[in-house]
Amino acid sequence: MNARLRWRKFVSNFMLGLTGVCALVSVGVLFLILGYLLYNGGTSINWDFFTQLPKPVGETGGGMANAIVGSAKLLLAASLIGVPIGFFGGIYLSEFSGSFTASVVRYAADLLNGVPSIVIGIFAYTVVVLPFKHFSTLAGAFALGIMMIPITLRSTEEFLKSVPRNLREGSMALGASKWRTISSVVVPAAYRGILTAILLALARVAGETAPLLFTAFGNRYWSNGWTQPTASLPVMIFNYAVSPYEDWHRQAWAAGLVLLGLILIINIVARTILARGIAVPRS
């Protein structure tokens, strides 16, 4: 082996080793984040955190009960807005529409998906906050719901389309109407993928902060009903983290741990459902 070849082989091993380092570093970021959250927030997760309201500025202690409930309400209402539009819209694209309408709707969904979340926030502000002259849970849910639409729409369409033709034809050959076929055969066949998509969409908006800044805004107390501003986990984390109070930093870490834990769990569950196999094998 001559010197040149020896050098080339050295370079090869070195560079390939470097790519391994890059992979390790990239994956390491995830564990770094988890590590910091666990270390700094782990000790602050206690009963108080889940049950108490925030204490007034400057006082230590208290919790984020209202934020947790607020986030739950927001996500529930957002799903009620975003999921039906995405789901039924997806059914339309997959089962009924012509190709031109389909490409228009798909393009609109992709466009909507690419809109920065802060822009969605100011949009929701003009549509839901301004007319009623106050911030509200509904406004926040509206903003988050819009963000759920593109993911739900595209995934529903994709998974419905992947249901094999012979399943549909089998049903129609028995005399079932198109809608009957869709509702009792096609959708159930694709339910795993659609459910996964909904979960992933939920996980995505659960962590969104920017759209809530001008819609749900925030609240240091309980928010009753749906027309009052409400606290939410992401916004609390934001406010507490940039504050000058050590105690609030501690609580921000705890909230971050809870939020990220929730999101990661949803993600892992969703991906496991998908990995277990789509109910109908793709052709």
- Give, as ranges, the residues between 157 and 216 that touch another protein (CB under 8 A): 177-180, 182, 203-204, 206-210, 213-214
Quote the CA–CA distance of 256 and 230 in Å, as a whole number.
18
Tell me how far, at minimum, the Cβ of 8 lies from another protein, in Å: 5
Identity of the residue, 65 or 172, whose beta carbon is nearer to another protein in the bound complex? 172
* Closer CB to another protein, 96 or 221, in the complex: 96
Does 238 sit near another protein (CB under 8 A)?
yes
Does residue 20 belong to the site contacting another protein (CB under 8 A)? yes
Residue 120 in contact with residue 143, Cβ under 8 Å? yes
Please pick, from the candidates 128, 146, 160, 278, the single residue that binds another protein as defined by CB under 8 A.
Answer: 146
- Shortest reach from residue 48's CB to another protein, in Å: 20
Do residues 249 and 260 touch, judged by C-beta distance below 8 A? Answer: no
Q: Which stretch binds another protein (CB under 8 A): 56-64, 188-196, 219-227, 258-266?
A: 258-266
Question: Within 61-80, which residues bind another protein (CB under 8 A)?
Answer: none
Alpha-carbon distance 186 to 192, whole Å?
12
By CB under 8 A, name the one of 55, 161, 220, 249 that touches another protein: 249
Q: How far is CA 123 from the centre of its chain?
A: 19
Least distance between another protein and beta carbon 165 (Å) = 18
Q: Does residue 91 touch another protein according to CB under 8 A?
A: yes
Q: Does position 33 bind another protein by CB under 8 A?
A: yes
Pick the binder of another protein from 43, 51, 60, 126 (CB under 8 A): 126
Task: Please state the closest distance from residue 194 (CB atom) to another protein, in A.
Answer: 14
Stretch that binds another protein, among 15-23, 46-54, 167-175, 189-197 (CB under 8 A): 15-23
Tokens in use for 184? 């009792």
